[in-house]
């Protein structure tokens, strides 16, 4: 029996592990894959984490993990199938194990959304990608398109511009959602062309991506672009499927919890991108990790 089982090893989960160990709690971090960092590890460069400006997301994820390991948090691999409640004891069920805990912090994060257009699924891994830092290098001197207008889309376009011959950024509105500083960097790049008010309607190609069909929302005009790759960066969705019947969620599937990370179920806490909140950043995720453990301690004291 652990004091706390933490589901997820992104910034929120790893911070919770550090704070949990500092509080003298026994801590198990459950991770889906043997690679910590969540979405962070796919980020080329993190520009807004105080004191670590410009560090790669991968290096930051590894640093967080080393810190948690140095505090002797335990780690195990496994995808959570369900959580069972037995009064004050909770069970976290994975395919091969059942872990018992007095409290659970769900920090399972979020994953990329899909465009849901023809060709997206069929050509996934054959030119369709959701991770520019993972796959961008395959497109050296090629033509790529990025769909989206948020921080991730703009970061991806900037990253791809370093080695692609040409990058199209396709955004459905006439204004980007991304941070101003990122926009300025993007606008300065000569090999990036922004297609405003446009949506990707279809991705086509025989073996690999060859074309995308674009529709201009203002004029209704349809056109085809010849591209070798499409990077889809149209937002994120919470990885909360395993908890649907357990805790209250909002209509997007985020676990409803305030800054204290308490859900509507006693002893179950939500931290990081999976929680309802306004701003999803590394700094807000690590803050959640600390707050969640603070709430766990209060919960234990109340028992």
User: Known catalytic residues?
Assistant: 131, 134-135
CB 86 → ligand NAP: shortest distance, Å? Answer: 36
Position closest to ligand NAP via CB: 150
Spatial distance between the Cα atoms of 169 and 218, rounded to a whole number of angstroms: 17
- Considering only residues 129 to 148 of the shown chain, the ones binding ligand NAP according to CB under 6 A are 147-148
Stretch that binds ligand NAP, among 65-73, 92-100, 228-236, 253-261 (CB under 6 A): 228-236
Given CA atoms 87, 93, 96, 100 in this order, what sign does their dihedral have?
negative
Spatial distance between the Cα atoms of 125 and 114, rounded to a whole number of angstroms: 14
CB 293 → ligand NAP: shortest distance, Å? Answer: 23
Residues in a beta bridge with 74: 28
Tell me the per-residue interface mask from 21 to 50 with ligand NAP, x by CB under 6 A, - otherwise: -------------------------xxx--
For the CA atoms of the chain, what is the radius of gyration?
21
CB 151 → ligand NAP: shortest distance, Å? Answer: 4
Q: Does 275 bind ligand NAP (CB under 6 A)?
A: no
Q: Where are the alpha helices (H) located in 162-251, listed in sequence order?
A: 180-187
User: Which residue among 32, 172, 211, 215 contacts ligand NAP (CB under 6 A)?
Assistant: 172
Phi first, then psi, for residue 113 (nearest 5°) are -85, 165
Smaller CB separation from ligand NAP, 71 or 189: 189
CB 273 → ligand NAP: shortest distance, Å? Answer: 7
Phi first, then psi, for residue 225 (nearest 5°) are -115, 135
- Residue 8: closest CA among 45, 37, 42: 37
Smaller CB separation from ligand NAP, 115 or 249: 115
Taking phi first (over 0 means left), then psi (-120 to 50 degrees means alpha), and beta for anything else, what does residue 267 get?
A: left
Binding residues for ligand NAP, rule: CB under 6 A, are 46-48, 115, 147-153, 155, 172-173, 177, 199, 233-236, 280-281
């Amino acid at each position: 029996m652990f004091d706390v089982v933490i589901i997820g090893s992104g910034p929120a989960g790893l911070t919770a592990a550090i704070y949990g160990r500092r509080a003298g709690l026994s801590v198990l971090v459950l991770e889906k894959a043997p690679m910590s960092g969540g979405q962070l590890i796919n980020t080329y460069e993190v520009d807004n984490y105080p004191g670590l400006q410009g560090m790669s997301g991968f290096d930051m994820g590894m640093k967080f993990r080393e810190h948690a390991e140095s505090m002797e948090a335990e780690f195990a691999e496994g995808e959570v199938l369900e959580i069972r409640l037995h009064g004050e004891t909770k069970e976290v069920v994975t395919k091969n194990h059942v872990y018992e805990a007095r409290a659970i912090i769900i920090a399972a994060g979020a994953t990329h959304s899909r465009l849901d257009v023809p060709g997206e699924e069929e050509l996934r891994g054959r030119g369709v990608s959701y991770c520019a830092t993972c796959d961008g290098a395959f497109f050296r001197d090629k033509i790529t398109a990025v769909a989206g207008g948020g921080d991730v889309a703009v970061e991806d376009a900037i990253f791809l511009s370093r080695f692609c011959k040409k990058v199209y950024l396709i955004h459905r509105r006439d204004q980007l959602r991304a941070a101003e500083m990122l926009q300025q960097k993007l606008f300065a790049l000569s090999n990036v062309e922004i297609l405003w008010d446009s949506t990707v309607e279809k991705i086509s190609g025989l073996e690999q991506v060859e074309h995308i069909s674009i529709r201009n929302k203002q004029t209704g005009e349809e056109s085809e672009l010849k591209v070798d790759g499409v990077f889809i960066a149209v937002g994120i969705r919470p990885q909360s499927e395993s908890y649907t019947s357990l805790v209250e969620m909002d209509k997007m599937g985020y676990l409803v919890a305030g800054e204290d990370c308490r859900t509507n179920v006693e002893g179950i806490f939500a931290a990081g991108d999976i929680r309802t909140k306004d701003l999803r950043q590394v700094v807000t995720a690590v803050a959640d990790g600390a707050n969640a453990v603070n709430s766990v301690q209060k919960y234990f004291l109340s028992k």
